[in-house]
Amino acid sequence: MEQEAASDAALVSETLAGNQASFQLLVERYETRVYALLRHYVKNTSELEDLAQETFLKAYRRLDGFEGHSSFYTWIYRIGVNTALDHLKKRGRSPIASTDDPEVLAEPTQVEGRIAAPHAALERAEVARVAQAALEQLPEIFRTVLVLREYEELAYQDIADMLGISIGTVESRLFRARARFKQAVLELHPEYGADADED
Amino acid sequence: MNCNQATTLIGPYLDGELNEAQAGPLRRHLLACAGCRTGVQSHKDLQRWFVEAEPVVVPAGFAARVAQAAFAGESRALPTVPAPQPTPFVVAAGRAEDGPRAEGRLLRFVLGLTSVAAAATIMVVLSTRDNRLSEGAGLRADERPRLTMDHAVEELEALQRAEGAGIAGR
Q: What is the pLDDT of residues A13-72, one digit of tens each?
A: 899 999 999 999 999 999 999 999 999 888 888 899 999 999 999 999 999 888 777 788
Burial class (CB in 10 A: 0-12, 13-18, 19+), B72: exposed
Q: What pLDDT is stored for residue B99 in this prediction? A: 43
How far is A132 from A176, CA to CA, in rounded Å?
Answer: 17
- Chain A residues close to B37, C-beta within 8 Å: none
Count how many domains chain A has.
2
Give B75's contacts in chain A (Cβ within 8 Å): 57, 60-61
Q: What is the mean pLDDT of residues B62-85?
A: 67
Query: HSE-up of B102 (CA within 13 Å, CB side)?
Result: 14
> For testing the chain B interface, which of A127, A176, A197 should be mutated: the one with the most B CBs within 10 Å?
A127
Contacts of B12 in chain A (CB under 8 A): 156, 171, 174
Tell me the shortest Cα–Cα distance from A166 to chain B, in angstroms.
14
Rounded CA-CA distance A195/B28 in Å is 28
Q: What is the pLDDT of residues B114-149, one digit of tens each?
A: 767 777 776 665 555 544 444 444 444 444 444 555
Whole-number percent of chain B with pLDDT over 70: 47
| pLDDT tens track for A103-133 | 545 454 555 667 778 877 778 888 888 999 9
A97 within a domain of the structure (yes/no): no
Q: Is A167 inside a domain boundary?
A: yes
- Tell me the count of A-B CB pairs closer than 8 A: 119
Model ipTM value: 0.78
Number of Cβ atoms within 10 Å of the Cβ of B22? 13
Flag whether residue B73 sits within 8 Å of chain A, measured between CB atoms.
yes
Question: Do both A32 and A115 map to the same domain?
Answer: no
**Which of these three, A47, A63, A90, is where a domain ends?**
A90
Phi, psi of B43 (to 5 degrees): -65, -40
Query: Do A138 and A194 belong together in one domain?
Result: yes
Q: Which residue has the higher pLDDT, B139 or B14?
A: B14
User: How confident is the model over B26-42, as pLDDT tens digits?
Assistant: 999 999 999 999 989 98
**Cα atoms found within 13 Å of the Cα of residue A7, Cβ hemisphere only:** 8
- The residues in A 124-153 lying below 8 A from B, measured between CB atoms, are 124-125, 127-132, 134, 146, 149-151
Distance of CA A131 to the CA centre of its chain: 14
Same-domain check for residues A39 and A115: no
- Cβ atoms A94, A139 nearer than 8 A: no
Q: Which domain, by its residues, includes A122?
A: 107-198
Q: Do B75 and A60 touch (CB under 8 A)?
A: yes
* pTM of the predicted structure, to 2 decimals: 0.65
Give yes or no: residues A194 and A114 share one domain. yes
Reference A76, options A140, A154, A169; nearest CA is A154
**Closest by Cα among B1, B25, B3, B23 to B13:** B23
Which residues does B85 contact at the CB level (< 8 Å), separation at least 6? none
